[in-house]
């Protein structure tokens, strides 16, 4: 777990402290400050999975895996990254299945790899019909009706795929360990 967080930019000393999110202070930035902006990231493990929950509307690994060598998926390392991309839509799922590559899909699509993750997305209705399949009017109507539930469906599918379950009350209370991650 620590190696993944270090690859995202976590400070070794801060990581060793295992500070709860509710107690972690994000330093104020002053005009002219050249240090990178940082955001809180809660983290933990569930089975063989490491999870990272960031509070800035995006996922650091999604913004950095192409640019930062340490964030690139390694062979034999599976990563599922769900990013809302609040500042740079569209919302995406990035899946590195463990072969050193990464596949991505926008919310409402699957990765096109016919994988178990794709099956989980289909099973919960997180894959919408395309214009080519049903025509523009039907695709738009489906999105308007089901679009608001799409993020929840995607997170449900990823949880079903990975077996990952994160205590929502603990997240909301800030009762998970956290570190500061610099924006990439």
Q: What is the pTM of this model?
A: 0.85
- pLDDT tens digits, one per residue of 127-174: 999 999 999 999 999 999 999 999 999 999 999 999 999 999 999 999
Query: What is the structure's pLDDT at 34?
Result: 61
Within-domain flag for 130 = yes
Within-domain flag for 131 = yes
How many structural domains are present in the chain? 1
- Give strand pairing partners of 51: 44
Domain residues for the domain of 54 are: 2-26+37-182
- pLDDT tens digits, one per residue of 173-182: 999 999 999 8
Within-domain flag for 115 = yes
Within-domain flag for 176 = yes
Within-domain flag for 32 = no
Within-domain flag for 31 = no
Residues 6+ away with beta carbon under 8 Å from 171 = 42, 53
């Amino acid at each position: 777990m620590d190696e993944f967080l270090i690859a995202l930019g976590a400070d070794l000393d801060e990581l060793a402290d295992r500070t709860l999110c509710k107690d972690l202070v994000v330093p104020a930035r002053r005009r002219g400050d050249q240090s990178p902006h940082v955001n809180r990231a809660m983290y933990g493990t569930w089975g063989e999975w490491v999870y990272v929950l960031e509070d800035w509307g995006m996922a650091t690994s999604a913004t950095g895996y192409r640019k930062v060598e340490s964030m690139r998926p390694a062979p034999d390392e599976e990563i599922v990254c769900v990013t809302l991309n609040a500042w740079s839509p569209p919302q995406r799922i990035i899946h590195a299945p463990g072969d050193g590559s990464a596949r991505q899909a926008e919310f409402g699509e699957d990765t096109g790899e016919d994988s178990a993750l794709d099956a989980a997305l289909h099973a919960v209705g997180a894959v919408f019909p395309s214009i080519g399949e049903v025509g523009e009017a039907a695709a738009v109507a489906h999105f308007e009706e089901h679009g608001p539930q799409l993020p929840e469906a995607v997170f449900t599918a990823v949880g079903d795929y990975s077996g990952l379950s994160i205590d929502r009350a603990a997240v909301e209370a800030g009762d998970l360990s956290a570190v500061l991650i610099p924006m990439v």
